[in-house]
């Protein structure tokens, strides 16, 4: 399947400042697939090494970390030469070998002509021993579940993607395309952007089979808890992870530890939340009470919301029935609009790669779903599930900060409503660039 990160990989290959690459991401988001595809298409050959499947590979890196000797051993292992500049070396599941991870700095310093791309789970890399990490000697790229734009490519509707991407004016999309995009969006809310369930959906169309693949992924995450986390934290991780749908279904979606377990205190469970974030399984959105840059300097680290890495995984965790796909817009309104907010958080994180914040007024009388700092500008965004949205929160924000444009994303078509720019949920990709039309 086509992935947007491919263009970033091409830029890495041709960069004069190229270093060994580490592709980071949660498990099952497609790290190995995209590196293999990139290698076979853009290089003469691929030399692939998986440190989790073949633990013995670690021995090649335990002696003197000399790139020439390492390459020589790897060539004997695969039975052929590895050509600098022409071949791509893939170190998969590199977090399983601290020595291999450490070797990347020596390849950078002594053998820069070899193109090396490593893939690893976020939690494994973060837990690597400090002395093993090649600080400043590697390039990083993050990969996330597939966005709705990538989903449209995968289901053979790239024309709809281009329609959204080429939109330059705040004028409605043609009605037939608007309704078709809403139908695809409903399917995306159920299937999500994890490559394996999406591939199953494309090949079979069987939503029950899609759900099986999603549950397999969820089970693999639960196994990761036992594999990587401290023994004492494993039960806490399970409680935190399983509580996400319930938290998002609350009117006030702020994460409350005592809602997970009666009497639970933040200091007892905060390490578990951090672990889930480090593993790439959740996104955290922090509360701010002002719209000043940088938002990070004004966030309240004690007040935050938690979103799942993928809206389809969230749907599987919540047990959403496939029947909702044929019941109009009901899916968007389930769990008090939790899927809509999670979807928007996912798209912002994966497409814009920004930190997530939400705004609350003094006295917490008003709350705005997202406050986004992009290219030096701060943009308010309200995420609504319905077609009859009221924007009291946006108006409250406007009264205090008076931005030039207020953004709202709903099931409505693209349109201007005074200062409010209504962006259809399927076109949140256009936020905030579409604002250029204001003032024309």
pLDDT of residue 255: 84
Residues ≥6 apart with Cβ < 8 Å to 415 = 170, 171, 172, 422
> Does residue 365 contact residue 396 with C-beta atoms inside 8 Å?
yes
Q: Distance (Å, rounded) from C-alpha 306 to C-alpha 241?
A: 10
pLDDT of residue 125: 58
Q: Distance (Å, rounded) from C-alpha 373 to C-alpha 378?
A: 4
pLDDT of residue 436: 75
Q: How far is CA 196 from CA 35, 163, 322, 331, in A?
A: 16, 27, 18, 22
pLDDT of residue 130: 46
Summarised one tens digit per residue, pLDDT across range 123-167 is 655 555 545 566 678 999 999 999 999 999 999 999 999 999 999
pLDDT of residue 154: 98
- Among candidate residues 262, 256, 259, the one with its CA nearest the CA of residue 306: 256
Mean pLDDT, the chain, whole residue set: 90
Domains of the chain: 5-142 (3.40.50.300), 148-437 (no CATH)
Q: Distance (Å, rounded) from C-alpha 218 to C-alpha 215?
A: 5
Q: Distance (Å, rounded) from C-alpha 274 to C-alpha 293?
A: 25
Q: Distance (Å, rounded) from C-alpha 137 to C-alpha 129?
A: 16
pLDDT of residue 326: 66
Query: Is the four-CA dihedral 141, 142, 143, 149 of positive or negative sign?
Result: negative
> Does residue 370 contact residue 380 with C-beta atoms inside 8 Å?
yes
* Token representation of residue 376: 């030096």
What's the Rg (C-alpha) of the chain? 23
| Average pLDDT over every residue of 111-120 | 94
Summarised one tens digit per residue, pLDDT across range 327-375 is 777 777 766 678 899 999 999 999 999 999 999 988 777 899 999 999 8
* pLDDT band at 68; cut points 50, 70, 90: very high
pLDDT exceeds 60 at position 93 = yes
Q: Looking at residue 216, what DSSP letter applies?
A: H
Q: Give me the residues paired with residue 407 across strands.
A: 381, 421
| Average pLDDT over every residue of 234-250 | 85
pLDDT of residue 256: 79
């Amino acid at each position: 399947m086509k992935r947007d990160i491919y263009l970033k990989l091409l830029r890495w290959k041709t960069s004069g400042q190229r270093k060994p690459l580490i592709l980071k991401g949660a498990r099952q988001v497609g790290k190995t697939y995209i590196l293999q595809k990139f290698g076979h298409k853009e290089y003469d050959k691929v030399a692939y090494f998986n440190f989790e499947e073949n633990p013995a590979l670690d021995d090649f890196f335990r002696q003197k970390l000399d790139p020439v000797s390492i390459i020589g051993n790897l060539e004997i292992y695969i039975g052929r030469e590895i050509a600098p500049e022409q071949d791509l070396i893939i170190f998969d599941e590199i977090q399983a070998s601290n020595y291999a991870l450490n070797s990347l700095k020596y390849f950078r310093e002594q053998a820069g002509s070899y193109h090396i791309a490593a893939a690893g789970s976020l939690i494994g890399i973060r837990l690597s021993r400090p002395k093993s990490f090649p600080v400043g000697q590697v390039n990083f790229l993050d990969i996330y579940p597939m966005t709705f734009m990538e989903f449209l490519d995968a289901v053979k509707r790239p024309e709809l993607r281009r329609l959204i991407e080429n939109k330059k004016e705040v004028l409605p999309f043609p009605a037939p395309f608007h309704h078709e995009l809403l139908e695809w969006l409903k399917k995306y809310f159920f299937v999500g952007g994890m490559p394996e369930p999406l591939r199953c959906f494309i090949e079979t169309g069987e939503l029950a089979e899609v759900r099986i693949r999603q549950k397999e992924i969820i089970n693999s995450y639960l196994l990761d808890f036992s594999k990587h986390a401290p023994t004492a934290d494993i039960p806490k991780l399970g409680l935190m992870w399983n509580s996400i749908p319930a938290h998002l279904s609350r009117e006030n979606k702020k994460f409350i530890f005592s809602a997970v377990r009666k009497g639970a205190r933040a200091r007892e469970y905060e390490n578990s939340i951090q672990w889930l974030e480090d593993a790439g399984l959740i996104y955290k959105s922090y509360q701010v009470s002002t719209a000043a840059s940088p938002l990070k300097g004004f966030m309240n680290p004690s007040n935050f919301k938690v979103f799942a890495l993928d809206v389809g995984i969230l749907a599987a965790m919540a047990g959403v029935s496939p029947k909702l796909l044929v019941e109009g817009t009901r899916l968007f309104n389930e769990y008090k609009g939790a899927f809509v907010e999670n979807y928007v958080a996912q798209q912002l994180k994966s497409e814009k790669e920004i930190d997530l914040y939400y705004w609350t007024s003094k006295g917490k009388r008003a709350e705005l779903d997202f406050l986004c700092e992009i290219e030096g500008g701060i943009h308010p965004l309200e995420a609504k599930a319905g077609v009859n949205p009221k924007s009291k929160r946006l108006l409250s924000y406007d009264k205090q900060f008076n931005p030039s444009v207020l953004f709202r994303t709903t099931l409505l078509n693209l349109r201007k409503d005074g200062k409010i720019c209504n962006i259809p949920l399927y076109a949140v990709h256009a936020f905030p660039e579409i604002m250029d039309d204001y003032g024309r």
